[in-house]
Amino acid sequence: MELTTTWYLVLSVLMFSIGAVGLLVRRNPLVMFMCVELMLNAVNISFVAFGADLNDVGGQISVFFVLVVAAVEVVVGLALVVAITRRRSDANADDISVLRG
Protein backbone atom coordinates (compact mmCIF):
# COMPACT_ATOMS: atom_id res chain seq x y z
CA MET A 1 0.00 0.00 0.00
CA GLU A 2 1.51 3.27 -1.13
CA LEU A 3 0.86 6.55 0.64
CA THR A 4 -0.33 8.57 -2.35
CA THR A 5 -1.59 12.15 -2.63
CA THR A 6 -5.13 10.81 -2.49
CA TRP A 7 -4.68 9.75 1.11
CA TYR A 8 -3.57 13.22 2.12
CA LEU A 9 -6.57 14.67 0.32
CA VAL A 10 -8.90 12.25 2.09
CA LEU A 11 -7.35 13.31 5.40
CA SER A 12 -7.84 16.93 4.41
CA VAL A 13 -11.51 16.36 3.49
CA LEU A 14 -12.09 14.59 6.80
CA MET A 15 -10.44 17.37 8.81
CA PHE A 16 -12.34 20.01 6.90
CA SER A 17 -15.68 18.29 7.47
CA ILE A 18 -15.00 17.77 11.17
CA GLY A 19 -14.13 21.45 11.46
CA ALA A 20 -17.14 22.63 9.48
CA VAL A 21 -19.60 20.43 11.40
CA GLY A 22 -17.99 21.42 14.68
CA LEU A 23 -18.29 25.11 13.86
CA LEU A 24 -21.98 24.72 13.09
CA VAL A 25 -22.81 22.45 16.03
CA ARG A 26 -20.68 23.64 18.95
CA ARG A 27 -21.64 26.75 20.88
CA ASN A 28 -18.49 27.58 22.84
CA PRO A 29 -16.53 30.26 20.94
CA LEU A 30 -13.19 28.75 21.95
CA VAL A 31 -14.18 25.36 20.54
CA MET A 32 -15.50 27.13 17.46
CA PHE A 33 -12.10 28.79 16.98
CA MET A 34 -10.47 25.38 17.21
CA CYS A 35 -12.83 24.16 14.50
CA VAL A 36 -11.83 27.11 12.31
CA GLU A 37 -8.18 26.17 12.85
CA LEU A 38 -9.02 22.60 11.90
CA MET A 39 -10.63 23.78 8.65
CA LEU A 40 -7.71 26.04 7.77
CA ASN A 41 -5.19 23.31 8.52
CA ALA A 42 -7.15 20.97 6.29
CA VAL A 43 -6.67 23.59 3.57
CA ASN A 44 -2.94 23.62 4.35
CA ILE A 45 -2.69 19.85 4.01
CA SER A 46 -4.52 20.01 0.72
CA PHE A 47 -2.25 22.81 -0.58
CA VAL A 48 0.91 20.93 0.41
CA ALA A 49 -0.35 17.62 -0.98
CA PHE A 50 -1.23 19.22 -4.32
CA GLY A 51 2.06 21.11 -4.32
CA ALA A 52 4.05 17.92 -3.76
CA ASP A 53 2.00 16.12 -6.38
CA LEU A 54 2.50 18.86 -8.97
CA ASN A 55 6.12 19.38 -7.92
CA ASP A 56 5.29 23.07 -7.64
CA VAL A 57 6.46 25.35 -4.86
CA GLY A 58 3.28 27.45 -5.03
CA GLY A 59 1.42 25.13 -2.67
CA GLN A 60 3.97 25.59 0.08
CA ILE A 61 4.03 29.33 -0.37
CA SER A 62 0.24 29.42 -0.01
CA VAL A 63 0.57 27.59 3.30
CA PHE A 64 2.75 30.39 4.67
CA PHE A 65 0.05 32.93 3.97
CA VAL A 66 -2.80 30.74 5.21
CA LEU A 67 -0.85 30.03 8.39
CA VAL A 68 -0.22 33.67 9.19
CA VAL A 69 -3.71 34.83 8.31
CA ALA A 70 -5.21 32.01 10.38
CA ALA A 71 -3.16 33.14 13.37
CA VAL A 72 -4.24 36.74 12.91
CA GLU A 73 -7.88 35.71 12.53
CA VAL A 74 -7.84 33.69 15.71
CA VAL A 75 -6.06 36.48 17.60
CA VAL A 76 -8.81 38.89 16.60
CA GLY A 77 -11.45 36.34 17.53
CA LEU A 78 -9.93 35.72 20.95
CA ALA A 79 -9.64 39.46 21.47
CA LEU A 80 -13.38 39.72 20.79
CA VAL A 81 -14.02 36.96 23.33
CA VAL A 82 -11.79 38.75 25.88
CA ALA A 83 -13.73 41.97 25.27
CA ILE A 84 -17.00 40.12 25.82
CA THR A 85 -15.87 38.19 28.91
CA ARG A 86 -14.72 41.42 30.52
CA ARG A 87 -18.40 42.28 30.68
CA ARG A 88 -19.74 38.79 31.31
CA SER A 89 -18.44 35.87 33.30
CA ASP A 90 -18.58 33.24 30.58
CA ALA A 91 -18.65 33.24 26.82
CA ASN A 92 -21.28 31.21 25.06
CA ALA A 93 -22.56 31.85 21.59
CA ASP A 94 -26.13 31.17 22.73
CA ASP A 95 -25.92 33.69 25.56
CA ILE A 96 -25.01 36.38 23.07
CA SER A 97 -28.46 36.67 21.61
CA VAL A 98 -29.90 40.07 22.26
CA LEU A 99 -30.60 40.39 18.56
CA ARG A 100 -33.11 38.37 16.64
CA GLY A 101 -32.03 35.98 13.93
Partner 1 sequence: MSDFLRSYLTVAIFGLVGFALVGAFLGLGRLLRPDKPNLAKTEAYESGVDPTGDMWSQSNIRYYIFALLFVMFDVEAVFIFPWAARLEAYEIFGLIEMAIFIFILLLGLLYAWRKGVLKWV
Partner 2 sequence: MLALLAQQVPDFVRPDIDWHAAAPELTLLTFGALVTMMDIVWLEKGRKLTSIVASIGLLATMVPIITLAVDGADRSMFGGAFVVDDYALIMKAVFILTGYVVILLSTNYIAEGDYWENEYYGLLLSSILGMILMASARDLITIFVALELLSIPAYMLATWRKRDLKSNEAGMKYYLMGVFASAIMLYGMSLLYGGSGSTLLTDINESISGPGDPSAVVVLGIIFVIVGFAFKVSAVPFHTWAPDTYEGAPTPITAFLSVASKAAGFVALMNMLFVGFFGRDDVYEPVIWILAALSMTVGNLIALRQTNMVRLLAYSGVAQAGYMLAPLAVAGDVPDSALAATVGYLVIYAAMNLGAFAVVIAVARKTRTAEIDDYRGLFHWAPGLTVAMTVFLFALAGIPPLGGWWAKFRIMGAVIEANTAAGVVMGIFVAVNSVIALYYYARIGVKMWAEPAPDDDTAPVRVPVSLTSALVLTAAATIAFGVLPGLVGEVTKVSLLAGVGG
Residues near partner 2 (CB under 8 A)? 9, 12, 16, 19-20, 23, 29, 32, 36, 39-40, 42-43, 46-47, 49-51, 53-54, 56-62, 65-66, 69, 72-73, 76-77, 79-80, 83-84, 87, 93, 96-101
How far apart CA 97 and CA 74 sit, in angstroms, is 22
- The helix (H) or strand (E) run that includes residue 93 is none
Rule CB under 8 A: is residue 17 a binding residue for partner 1? no
Could you give the C-alpha distances from 15 to 2, 78, 83, in angstroms and in order?
A: 21, 22, 30
The alpha carbon of 76 is separated from its chain's Cα centroid by a whole number of angstroms, namely 14
- The helix (H) or strand (E) run that includes residue 22 is helix 5-25
Binding mask 39-58 for partner 1 (x = CB under 8 A): --------------------
Rule CB under 8 A: is residue 2 a binding residue for partner 1? yes
> Binding residue for partner 1 (CB under 8 A) from 13, 21, 52, 82?
82
